[in-house]
Amino acid sequence: MGKTVAEKIFDAHRIDNPSDDVHVLKLDAVFCHEITTPMAITDLVARGKDRVFDPNKIKAVIDHVTPAKDSKTATQGKILREWARRHRIRDFFDIGRNGICHALFPEQGFVRPGYTIIMGDSHTCTHGAFGAFAAGVGTTDLEVGILKGICAFHYPKTIKIEIAGSLPAGVFAKDVILSIIARLGVNGATNKVIEFSGQVVADMSMDSRMTLCNMAVEAGATCGICYPDQTTVSYLWPFIENDYPDETAAAAAFKAFWPDEDAVYEEIIEHDVSKLEPLVTDGFKPDNVKPVKEMDGTAIDQIYIGSCTNGRIEDLRIAAQVLKGQKIDNNIRGIVSPATPKIFRQALDEGIMSIFMDAGFCVTNPTCGACLGMSTGVLAEGEVCAATTNRNFSGRMGKGGIIHLMSPATAAASAVAGHITNSPLYKG
């Protein structure tokens, strides 16, 4: 019987199988940030187990609130910083070199096809875009990962989503994943892996694939996975060029982490996007999705473009295309947060930051702050934000705040209009 991608990765990393459904896997990387890791560090220290399994396989960053906004967040950063120094963790990204973890770590070449990765962050599933098994875990599992380089998982059941058709102009990966979440529901993929397949995915950039996988967790999935191909090779080539004779050989090797033709799935869903429209969430669940045209005219107070979902260079280019030569509405405040310093610099060099600033946006350093309602864009009670982020839970961006999730194109157009509306890139 054939294997899914996740099953192949499990088989290659299994070191123990204590029960039929529990598999202990060797980890290729443990990712850490200053919000969840300090709790694990403090507990390990208290237990007399202040050790790391391999400092070269641990990657750490201060990204959620940076620079620190108060004594609490400063202390969290201090704990992570001192721990990284204490254990000679080379790949630690402090303020000035830091970026949003799920953009920074792939950018640094830390994610490879077939890898097993954990992090104390639910959006770790982003890294499945490279054909890896990447999962967010709780504090106890994170501690074990840091200490021993292993993690236990239930054997993966997989939903395969074949994305068919072709994307209409002005419709983007964010719209695709919102449509899938709406179809599955917020619990539709709980404790399962989602394989994203089909020509639409094959034609996507790595930036778009990361957007797709990033929000798999919003349907309850443990991980979202794309098949590693030439696009993956091209993205990773600066980091792997000494491992393969050429890019063709690398792409062939990556095929080991494609599913077998006779792989068995929990469910196979064909999802045709040929007639897909730009989408937006309404309410406080990411599966409550409507076409933008049905929400046209909805009042907003703030536009936020950024996050681990849509803060990459592709996202900024799309938004800038809509904003060029425009001004945001006088009643709207716009905030943009490039996801990493590299993306920030690239956007500067391409004139994208000038377009945002000329339009009236506030440009921040790379940070997650606004997305989780901690800094650089917190909402007051009753305020409404059109955001390119991944969660619209009540109070996510500030107590009593309301969030509508959308693509960068829709967000940029809404900033200019002063209310939710479709971008001119969509001709439907």
Beta 333-336 vs 302-305: how paired, if at all? parallel
Q: Which two tokens mark 23?
A: 């598999």
Confidence at residue 415, expressed as pLDDT on a 0 to 100 scale: 98
Residues in the chain: 428
Residue 320 domain-assigned (yes or no): yes
Q: What is the pLDDT of residue 11?
A: 96
Using CA atoms, how far residue 401 sits from 227, 342, 420, 421, in Å, is 37, 31, 16, 20
Asked whether 332 and 418 are in contact (CB, 8 A), the reply is: yes
Query: Structural domain tally of the chain?
Result: 2
Return the sign of the alpha-carbon dihedral for residues 235, 239, 245, 251. negative
Residues 264 and 291 in one domain: no
Domain end point (choices 270, 301, 317): 270
| 189 part of a folded domain | yes
User: What is the model's pTM?
Assistant: 0.96
Q: Which structure tokens are listed for 84?
A: 């990284």
333, containing H or E segment: strand 333-336
Regions of the chain where pLDDT drops below 50: none
Judge residue 428's burial from the number of C-beta atoms within 10 Å of its C-beta, 0-12 exposed, 13-18 middle, 19 or more buried: middle
**Secondary structure of 89-116 in HEC code, one letter for each residue:** CCCEECCCCCCCHHHHHHHCCCCCCCCE
Helix (H) or strand (E) holding 315: helix 313-323
Pairwise CA distance, residues 273 & 164, whole Å:
6
The predicted pLDDT at position 19 comes to: 86
- Among 245, 270, 295, the domain boundary falls at 270
User: What is the reported pLDDT for 281?
Assistant: 98
For the chain, the farthest-separated pair of C-alpha atoms sits apart, in whole angstroms, at: 62
Separation CA 308–CA 329 (nearest Å)? 26
Let me know whether 231 and 286 are in one domain: no
CB 304, CB 370: distance < 8 Å: yes
- Tell me: do 39 and 180 sit in the same domain: yes
pLDDT of residue 20: 83
Query: Do 247 and 293 fall into the same domain?
Result: no
Q: What span, in angstroms and rounded, lies between the C-alpha atoms of 151 and 148?
A: 9
Nearest CA among 193, 207, 175 for reference residue 308? 207
Q: Are 314 and 347 in contact (CB under 8 A)?
A: no
132 and 227 co-located in one domain: yes
CA dihedral in degrees (127, 132, 133, 137; nearest 10)?
A: -30
Amino acid at 373: G
Structural domain boundaries, residue 358: 280-417
Q: Are the CB atoms for 60 and 77 separated by under 8 Å?
A: no
Provide the CATH number for the domain around residue 54: 3.30.499.10
Domain check: are 229 and 82 in the same one? yes
Q: According to the model, what pLDDT value does residue 83 have? A: 98
Q: Domain check: are 90 and 144 in the same one? A: yes
Predicted pLDDT at 1: 81
- Find the distance separating the first CA and the last CA of the chain, reported in whole Å: 44
